[in-house]
Amino acid sequence: MTNQDEGGQGRSAEEEEALMKEWAAMAEEDAGGSATSEGGGGGGDAMADEWEAMLGAGAGEGEATAAVARDATRVLNQDEIDSLLGFDEDGAGGGDKSGIQAILNSALVSYERLPMLEVVFDRLVRMMSTSMRNFTSDNVEVSLDNILSLRFGDYLNSIPLPAMLAVFKAEEWDNFGLLTVDSSLIYSIVDVLLGGRRGTAAMRIEGRPYTTIERNLVERMVHVVLSDLSAAFDPLSPVTFRFDRLETNPRFATISRPSNAAIVAKLRIDMEDRGGRLELLLPYATLEPVRELLLQMFMGEKFGRDSIWETHLAEELWMTEVELEAVLDQQVMNLRDVLAWKPGSKHMLNATPDSQVEMRCGQVGMFRGRMGRKGQHIAIRVDETSRRDKG
C-alpha cells in the first residue's frame, strides 16, 4: 500500500503540489471570510439592509393592495347611504340638499331669479296684516317665513292633513294657483269669528270632515287673502284672482303636472295665543306672462320709477336748444332740371308775401306763420301749430 502510495506520489508529484497550493488558498479565503464576519464588516450589513428594505417594500405593497380590496368590498352603512342619496336628516331642516337628490332638483328654477316677486310678497304681508285685523276684529300678525321652489307633486305629498286647499284662477294670466290652510289656522279662524274667548286654545276635533260652517268661514278668509294678493300684484301687472273651489283632498286640487316647478310662499298668522300657517303656491306656468316684469331690478317700492330723476330730466329738456328751419315752399323736380342749373338761373316759388311759412325741427313740422320784418331781421309771426300725424 505504501509502495502504491509512493509510486502514485512519484507519478503525480507536480500535480499533488499544485493541489496542495489550491487547498492552502481555499483555507486562507475561509479564514478571511470568517474574520470579516466576526469583525462586523460593512459589506455584509449593507447587503442585509438591502434585503430587509426589499422585504419591507413588498409587505407595504401587499398591505395597500389588501386595503384597496377591502374598500372595494366594503358595505355602506345606512348613514352613508342617506348622505349619498341626499336624505340626510341633519340637513333636512332647510340646508342645501346633496347627492342624487341635488342632481334631481338641479333643473328647478330658483325663485331668487325673480327679485320683484319678493317685493310683491312683502306688500302682501303688510296688506294682510291690516285686512285680517279688520276681518277678525282681533290683533293679527302676519309674517313671511320663507319662499322656496319645488316640484308640484312633492308639495302635494308634503301637505299635512287635515287641511283645506283653495283653488283660485288668475283671470288675466289664464292659469291657476293654490292656497293651503292648515288645521290650526282653520280652528283658530272659526273660534275667533264665532266669539271664542281669548287666552284659550281652539278646541280641535280630529278624525271628522269639516262642517259647512267651517268651510264657509274659511272661504270668507280666502276671499280676503285673494283680494290682498290682487292688490299686491296691481303695481306690477293688474290681475284678478278669482276663487274657484275648496278641496280637502290634495288629489282633487291638482292644478299642474307633478313634475312642474312652482313657487311656495309660507305665511304665519298669529292671533295672540292662536294661529296657524297659510301657504301660497304659484306654478311657474302661472307667472310666465309677467316673467319679464318679475325679472327686473327695483329701487324701493316704486318698482323702478324715480320721480326725482324724472323731474331733473324734464327740466333739462325744457332748457334744450333746438334748430328751426323756415320753409317758404317745397317742390318736386326732375334731377335733369336740377343739374341744368347754372349761376344766374332763376326758379320761381309758389309763395307770395302773404303765404304761410312752415317752421320745422328736422323733418317734423312745428308751427305755421307769416313772414315779415322786425328791424334789420326777417321774422315770422306764429299763427298756428302744425298738425302732426300720430302713429
Q: 233 to each of 54, 110, 118, 135, 200, how far by Cα in Å?
A: 79, 20, 11, 21, 37
- What is the arithmetic mean of pLDDT over 322-327? 86
* pLDDT value of residue 241: 93
C-alpha cell belonging to residue 357? 311759412
pLDDT at position 220 over 90: yes
- With cell 301660497, the residue in question is 280
**Farthest CA pair distance, the chain:** 176
pLDDT tens digits along 271-303: 877 888 999 999 988 988 888 888 876 544 455
The reported pLDDT for the residue numbered 200 is 61
Query: 342-370 b/e with 16+ CB inside 10 Å = b?
Result: eeeeeeeeeeeeeeebbbeeeeebbbbbe
**Res 228 pLDDT > 80:** yes
Q: Is the dihedral of CA 249, 252, 255, 258 positive or negative?
A: positive
Using CA atoms, how far apart are residues 118 and 220, in angstroms rounded to an integer? 26
pLDDT > 90 in the chain, percent: 17
**Residue 285 and residue 256 in contact, taking contact as beta carbons nearer than 8 Å:** yes
**What would the pLDDT profile of 186-208 be if each residue is shown by its tens digit?**
988 888 888 877 666 555 666 67
Number of Cβ within a 10 Å radius of residue 264: 20
Element (H, E) at 177: strand 175-182
pLDDT grade for 46, boundaries at 50, 70 and 90: low
DSSP run (H or E) holding 274: strand 274-283
Q: Which helix (H) or strand (E) holds 51?
A: helix 42-72
pLDDT band, residue 137 (cuts 50/70/90): confident
Residue 165 has pLDDT above 90, yes or no: yes
Mean pLDDT of 56-71: 55
pLDDT tens digits along 340-382: 888 988 888 888 778 888 888 888 888 888 888 888 888 888 8
Least confident of 5-14, 21-30, 174-183, 216-225: 5-14
Q: pLDDT band at 160, cuts 50/70/90?
A: confident
C-alpha span between 122 and 99 (Å, rounded): 34
Residues 362, 207: Cα–Cα separation, whole Å: 80
Q: Which amino acid is at 42?
A: G
pLDDT at position 307 over 60:
yes
CA distance 82 to 88: 5
* % of the chain exceeding 70 in pLDDT: 70
| 121/55: higher pLDDT | 121
pLDDT at 94: 45
Per residue in 161-186, is it b (16+ CB within 10 Å) or e — as a string?
ebbbbbbbbbeebebbbbbbbbbbbb
> Region 95-120: what's the mean pLDDT?
66
